[in-house]
A and B are shown apart, each in its own frame.
Chain A
Amino acid sequence: MAFNIYDFTPLTKSIHESLSASLSPTATLAIEWTIVGVVYLLFVAVFGLFLVYAERKVCAAFQQRLGPMRVGPWGLLQTIADFIKLLMKELITPKRADQFLYNLAPFIVIIVTFMAISVIPFAPGLVSFDFDIGVFFVTSVSSIGVIGVLLAGWSSNNKYSLIGAMRSGAQIVSYELSVGLSLIAMIIFAGTMQISGIVEGQRDLWFIFKGHVPAVIAFLVFVIAGTAETNRGPFDLAEAESELTAGFHTEYSGIKFAFFFLAEYINLFIVAAMATTVFLGGWMPLHFGDFEAFNSVMDLIPGLVWFFLKVFFVIFLMMWFKWTFPRLRVDQILNLEWKYLLPINLLNIILMTAVVLLGLHF
């Protein structure tokens, strides 16, 4: 099998070697950490802004509109203008709000987002954090975010915020289960929790094709539960505009609101990236077993491009959900999780185990 020519390992290796040639190991490590941190910050800021723009455009197209068209060509600079506006706005703290928790909450939410994004492999050799419980790490870290949401709702001293936060809490705690269980089904199939191992296991075929029926069921459940986890429509009752003004971030303004907003969109990216990595092969090009000619043609497209194509496919799917389906009621959301997704998921795990044990996969 031809090795992917767009590997980032030589680049990172040469940076490491040139730094450690002239500096002490501690200084090298510090500089490398700084570089990685700055790269992630830039990525989150730019990609978050781009996702907001894409959401507005996609939403407009689904409603037969044009979306932002005035700021820059095709409105490309619209979200940058919005962001500058948010940066310049006053930071308001409500009367008798819990000052400390009120200021802490947006940081918890954004830090959790950064932690979850760190294990995602963008391309061969382009991952900052690859260890043997990668999938477990993502699911556990992403559920810390609900603490930030609950703190924001509680400390705002506002009934809408509190109701929104409580709804969000109930929702995320229940859907966490489905996300975890659908990932467990795929871990059974992959035989490893290490993300690089999962990607490597899809070298001959992506898991969603390899694992046929149970993998497709797991993918559908993951996308539904992932949409709910990011508090997006049709599961956006935590910030149901018509009932709760804006839910848990009603009282936030300026850069703190921007943190919540950015975290929401980067969480969308994380769910899409996890779906891509676990089901659609991550950065791995589309390979079919032993068709060498076809595989080598597919290898010509860089892994980074493959990764972002798949991520945008999943993101588009979730935007499609949001702008098609009406919002669910609280009881409907809990019914969907506990009466439908959870039993299906448990059955799916048994089915997946049988498939793996009997070797019925491709």
Chain B
Amino acid sequence: MKSIIKYFGEIFGGFFTLITGMMVTARYFFTPWKNVTQQYPENRATLKIAERFRGEVVMPHNENNEHKCTGCGLCELSCPNGTIEIIPKSVVGEDGKKKRAIDQHIYHLGMCTFCNLCIRACPTGAIVMSQDFEHTVWDRSTLTKVLNKPGSKIMEGVKE
């Protein structure tokens, strides 16, 4: 008797779990406005990229063409595959002392794995990840970028 109850209990229990599963997919089916698919080229204008998305490394400049990079080279050291090259130069400050600064912050986008280690290593927050993801180019050499703009200099008050 016990086994018969167990047998029919299994059948009805099985049906119950199957219907539970089918209700879940039915909810997906009948709410098509919640679809997750993005129609990419069509929705370029309204595209929303998450804040934490790692598109590429950029160096933000303010309106006076100033950045926060001190040329310390920590990003270059932290990069696991040599994506970043720092070419330093020395400038003479107002107090007459020589100071280290960057001549060129070279970033090889083609070698970057977007691991975010350089951004975490940067003591002054000079480099950040942008949300731009359209990296297609016709020529491979254009993937090598100089992040500091020509003629830019370090922002006032940024300490090493």
Contacts and interface: CB of A to CB of B under 8 A. Distances in A.
Contacts of B35: 61, 64-66
B18 A63 contact: no
B117 to A, nearest CB: 34
A324 B37 contact: no
B28 A320 contact: no
Contacts of B5: none
Contacts of A60: 37
B64 to A, nearest CB: 47
A291 interface: no
Contacts of A324: 18, 21-22, 24-25
A243 B52 CA distance: 37
Interface in A291-326: 320-321, 323-325
Contacts of B26: 320
A69 interface: yes
A288 interface: no
A66 B29 contact: no
A60 B25 CA distance: 11
Contacts of B37: 60, 64-66
B36 A320 contact: no
B135 interface: no
Nearest to B17: A325
Interface string B12-38: 000000100110111011001011110
B115 interface: no
A69 B34 CA distance: 17
B1 interface: no
A62 B28 contact: yes
A172 B79 CA distance: 58
A323 B29 CA distance: 11
A43 interface: no
A325 B21 contact: yes
A325 B17 CA distance: 10
Nearest to A320: B22
Contact of B25 (A62, A69, A340, A344): A62
Q: How large is the interface on B (under 10, 10 to 19, 20 to 34, 35 or more residues)?
A: 10 to 19
A337 to B, nearest CB: 14
B36 A323 contact: no
A65 B36 contact: yes
Interface residues of A, number: 16
A113 to B, nearest CB: 28
Given A61-B32, A325-B18, A320 B25 contact: yes
A174 B98 CA distance: 88
A63 B21 CA distance: 13
A160 to B, nearest CB: 29
A63 B34 CA distance: 11
Nearest to B22: A324
A62 B24 CA distance: 9
Looking at A58, A60, A63, A64, the one whose CB has the most chain B CB atoms below 10 A away is: A64
B18 A64 contact: no
B36 A64 contact: yes
A47 B41 CA distance: 32
Given A61-B32, A64-B34, A340-B11, A323 B39 contact: no
A66 B33 CA distance: 10
A5 B96 CA distance: 104
Interface in A318-355: 320-321, 323-325, 340, 344
A69 B24 contact: no
A344 B11 CA distance: 10
Contacts of A321: 22
Given A66-B35, A69-B39, A61 B21 contact: no
Interface string A52-75: 000000101111111001000000
B37 to A, nearest CB: 4
A66 B39 contact: yes
Nearest to B30: A61
A115 B35 CA distance: 41
A66 B32 CA distance: 8
A84 B126 CA distance: 55
Nearest to A326: B21
B10 to A, nearest CB: 8
B48 to A, nearest CB: 17
7 contacts: A62-B28, A65-B35, A65-B36, A66-B35, A66-B37, A320-B25, A324-B21
Given A58-B29, A323-B25, A340-B11, 20 more contacts: A61-B29, A61-B35, A62-B28, A64-B28, A64-B34, A64-B35, A64-B36, A64-B37, A65-B35, A65-B37, A66-B35, A66-B37, A66-B39, A69-B39, A320-B22, A320-B26, A320-B29, A321-B22, A324-B18, A324-B22
5 A-B pairs with least C-beta separation: A66-B37, A324-B25, A62-B25, A65-B37, A61-B29
